[in-house]
Structures are given as structure tokens and as C-alpha cells.
Structure 1
Amino acid sequence: TEHSLESLQPRIEITSAEHGKGDVVAVYLLPGGSYLQIKDNAPVVKGTILAKLLKEGTKTKDITGGLPRVGELFEARRPRNSAILAQVSGLVSIGAIVKGKRTIIVSDAYGHEYKHMVPMGRNLLVRDGDSVEAAEALCDGATDPHDILDILGENALQSFLVDEVQEVYRMQGVQINDKHLGVIVRQMLRKVEVVHVGDTNLIHGQQVDKYRFFEENDRVITEGGEPAVARPLLLGITRASLSIDSFISAASFQETTKVLTNAAIAGSKDELRGLKENVIIGHLIPAGTGMRKYRDVKLKDEELLALQQKVDAVKESRRQEMIDDDDFDVEDLADMKSVGDTVDVDELDED
């Protein structure tokens, strides 16, 4: 019953001798409602099926699969009954039952112990003495991307999200280049939360864009102050789109009236840094030759470049002729450029 599962848990013990009188060589903890496939004191060999789990537990992955799984990942929702992940790499030891939860202890290489509380009804994926890696699942369930971010960091989370989305589309026979998903994931990770203010003008707990956070830290470091410390945040695409600095871009997505009202009250200023707001205004997007530092770059055709070199050569020869002329007047210097231009065209036409 559910009450008995709060303090007891079914298990299968395998001993080295008959009738359970030998040493225990293996212990398998089972969730409540499992179906035993062997009898007590029956001999077993390697590969023998000991028990079968409930089908409801195996349906979870199928229900959360497909396109709903993509929406769950992009919206950064925490899945129901998510898997408990190991906080560090180390050895597993099964602890006592506390308030209906099994204690799983992971000891790292330095002897530090990290406790993980797993509900009794969940199927354990590890046994006593197993070696696990950081962020490895200790029980069944969907992986929470927020846990991946807390344990392994941004790079591991980016790879996890891209791989999970690609897996769904590959099952449907659709191929998508990783760069498209990478752009979306990058926008989901554009915010950080300030945990230590330092000498900056930021506020503890404030959520700011990474570029603004780094700009503020660079300013403080240049002045010899203490920089701020922040932790990365994972936002869903809806929340990430509405929390950007550009009110023009945010208003074009959702809640237009609310976004424009808040921008008007706050007197917000749009710097037109992104793509969407520049497209809405009718400007070139800040990418490639549309970036400000590249807008003044002029590309020259090889034929036009060769023609310009001929023009420059004729100008130089005309200048030398005028200087070598005994009747050369200093006043002719003012008209030298215009004279050179007219002569250049005539001489080039004759060639």
C-alpha cells in the first residue's frame, strides 16, 4: 500500500548460496506494484528477468515525446516527475528512508557527500556502489534543463537542448541544421541574475542582459573597483522575447498594449541593436555589410580599379609636364585638377 511504501520498499536480494544463507552479492530495489518473475529461493543466472515494472512508468517518455516535447524545451518548463540528477561525479550509496523518500548519497573524490532525495514510488537507475557522472539520472523521469544548467553550466545546456530537439525532428524524418536551433538557444540564455553587486550600479537579484552586465563590469574594472558576479538564467522563448531591452521588438511579439504602455511610462529608449526592431523601422539589419562599422566600406570592380589607375597615371604625367614647362604659372595650380580631369577623358578615349 502507499502507507507501507513510506517506510518500506520492496527489494530482491541475490545470495551466493541456496536458501538465502550465503553472502548477499546484489540488491535490487523495486518500486511499488512491480511484478515478480521469479519465486523465493529460486536459482538465477546472469541475465535472468527478476521483475517487470508498471506500464504507466514506461509511457511517460512517449507522452512527453514529439512536438509537445519541443514546446516544453523551448518554453523551459519544468517537467512533472523530473529525474533526480547527481550533483557531482562519484560513488553511490543507498541511505535510509526519510519522510517517504529514499536517500541517495553520492561521494566525490574528496570524500564530500551529496544527498539526493528520491520519492519511494520512483524506479532507481543506480545501485549501491555504482559510479555515476555529474548530471546523470538517479531515477526515471524526464531531464529538467534547469538542473543541467545548475550542475554543468551553459555549454552543456546548449548541447542538451539542441540534441533533444534534433532527436524529436529526426524521428519525424526532418533534418534541421544546428545553427538554427543554436540561435534560439542563445536567445534563451541571454539573461543573467546578479548574485553579488560589487562596486557596480546593478541590484542584487536583478536580471540583466549579458552585454550590459559585461559592459558594467568592464567599466568598474577599469576604475579599479570590484566587479559583480552573476549566474546564468534559462528563459523560455516567450519570456525571453518579452524581456528584451527593445520595446519595439517585444511589442511585435505578444502583449503589445502592455509593452508599449510600460515603455511609455518608463520613458524607454530603443537603441535598435537587434534584427527585428531594425526590420520594423525599415533600416538595414545589423549583420554583415549592414553593421555600422562596415557601412562605409566600398567594393571596387577590377576593371574600374584598372581604369582609375590609368587616370591617375595621366594626371601625374600632365602635372609633370606643367611643372617642367618654362611658362608654368603658380596660378595654374588652382585649376590643375579640373584641367587634368578634362585631359584624362580625352586621352583615354583616344586609346
Structure 2
Amino acid sequence: MRIDGTEGQVQANKQVLGMKERGQVPDKDPWPVAPEVRKMGVKGPSFKPQMEGVKQTLRVTNPLARECLGELMGTFVLLMFGCSASAQVKTSRETKGQYLSANMAFSVGVMSAMYLCKGISGAHLNPAVTLSFCSLGRVPWVKLLPYALCQVLGAYLASGLVFLVYYDAIMDFSGGNLTVYGANETASIFATYPGEHLSLSSSILDQVVGTAMLMLCILPLDDQKNSPAPDALIPPIVAVVVLGIGMSMSSNCGGAINPARDLGPRLLTLTAGWGTEVFTCYNYWFWVPMMAPLLGGMVGSGMYLVFIAWHLPDLPTNPPIDSFSTKPTTEVWAQPPAPEKEGVELKTAVF
């Protein structure tokens, strides 16, 4: 006979009670026990937190190492979104997405990565951002190199995974010939390259201006003297800023504005079959998206200080003033209540 539902639970509880009376109840009961039966002294199932041991074994105790892991994973997520979208647009010959698709994917990647690791490392995701924060005194200089290396490594690993996911599509699109030049080039799926019309000075200016705009727009978001955004809304706001920069300042040379976003994928293409051409092409242009964003981040940070931050009023240090008095609120509330006069009824004013 099959017993289901409540009837089965009742019979199981009765069986447990019978074993309890005979002293046969094991330490770990194999049956779920109802609350009313548990009150009678019958133990329910005991579950050891199996994951706690794994957590203690794998938990990184060094604070800097934890932060570096956060930056690695954050940059990994950012590049997974961005490079995957670029691969889809390129290999489908824009039948499954357009240039805007890649810009939007990078923006979603920024938002997702920031939510992922902001609580651990601050979610810089960009050596130019880390350098700017170090120069502003927000981050110790000792963290600059470890952060940057982990950001590049995260970008490299993400690019490698994108290459594996889209390997067949890339080979079909390129005819098996992985190149930097030509109508069927595929190197731009991963790293950024200049337009044929672009001079070296213009490409440097492009990256400096783009990264300066990035820093100029994100620094006010957590400046308590300015109008800071709620902490939970900072990732989507930064994502919108990145989307705006990508939609308006990326046609010249891909809109890298992030040395890790460019160097990590470029190293992947070097090792995955494109060869040294990814570094030697366009007269060794690769250093522009590596160095110009660093300068641009410093320029944007300096502009924020000179034109905005140094002119903001200091945060109030005195108690707030009561709306109906010139005395501080604490002084108003500290005054003793007026004594009630005998025979006078006190009424509450309603406004």
C-alpha cells in the first residue's frame, strides 16, 4: 500500500515515537519530524554544513589577494560580454547584431562586473581607473601593479574562452586565415585597431579624451561633497557612461579607454594564431591603447579636481538648524518642556 502526503508523515512520526520508547532512535533520524513530535524529545535529521569545510579550505585570507581575484573575475565578465558580442556581430556579417550591439554588450558587462566585485575590490576593471584613484589618494600605490596585472589576466582568459566558443564561426568567416588586415580580418573581434584614415596624434588624442570623459563622469558618483548616487545605482550609471562613450567616441580606434581591455585580448591573439602582426601592424600602434588611457585618466581626474571638487562646500560639521528656530536642533530639543498651567487644557495644533 502506498502512503502519500500528510498520512505518510503521521505514520513516520508514529514509527519514530515507537522507536523512541524502545530506546532505538539513532542520533541522526532518517525521517523528517513534525514540530509537535520534536517537542516530545525526538530528534529530527541533522545536516552538517558540508560546504563550510570547503569554504575554509579555499578562502583567501590575504586582503590584497582577495581584491586581485575580484578584479580578475570582474574584468573576465566585462570582456566575456564585450568580445562575445563583437564576435557575433563580425562573424554573422552584422546579420545578428550591429555596432551598437557590441557597445551595449560592453556596457552590460561593466554593470555586471561592478555588481560582481565592487564589494571586494571596488570594481576598477581598468588600470587607468586604478592609476587615477592612486593619484587621488583613494587607493594605495602598492595595489596599482597587482590590480593591473590581474585585470590584464582576466581579459586574456575571457578572450580565450570567447575564441573557443566562436572558434568555428571565426574559422568559417576568415576561411581559416587569421589576419589583422583585409575584409575578412578577425583580430578586431578582440583588440582595438585604428581606422585607415587616422594619424598617430589623432589616435592618442582620441584615447586621452575618451578616458578623461570616463573619469570626469564617474568621480562625482561617490563624492559626498557633490551629489553622490546611491551605492546600488553606481554600476548602471557607470554602464550608461561607458555606453555613451562607446556610441560617440569609438569609431576612430575602437574606443578601448582601458589598457587591460586591449592588451589582454591582444596577447590572446598573439598566442592563438594571429602571430606578431597584432603588435607590429599600423607601425607598432599597440602602445596607444595601452598608454594614452593612463594619461587620459589622470587628465580627467585633474579636471574634476580643478573645476569641480576644489570648489564644493565642505561637509557640515555643526548640528542641523531647526526649521523654525535659529538654534541648533540639539539645543531646541534639549530645552525642558514648559510647565502646564493648572486649569488650562493643552491642545495639539494640526497643520
User: Which structure's relative contact order is higher, taking Cα pairs within 8 Å and 6+ residues apart?
Assistant: 2
TM-score w.r.t. length of structure 1: 0.26
Q: Which has the higher helix share?
A: 2
Q: Which has the higher strand share?
A: 1
> Whose Rg is larger?
1
TM-score w.r.t. length of structure 2: 0.26
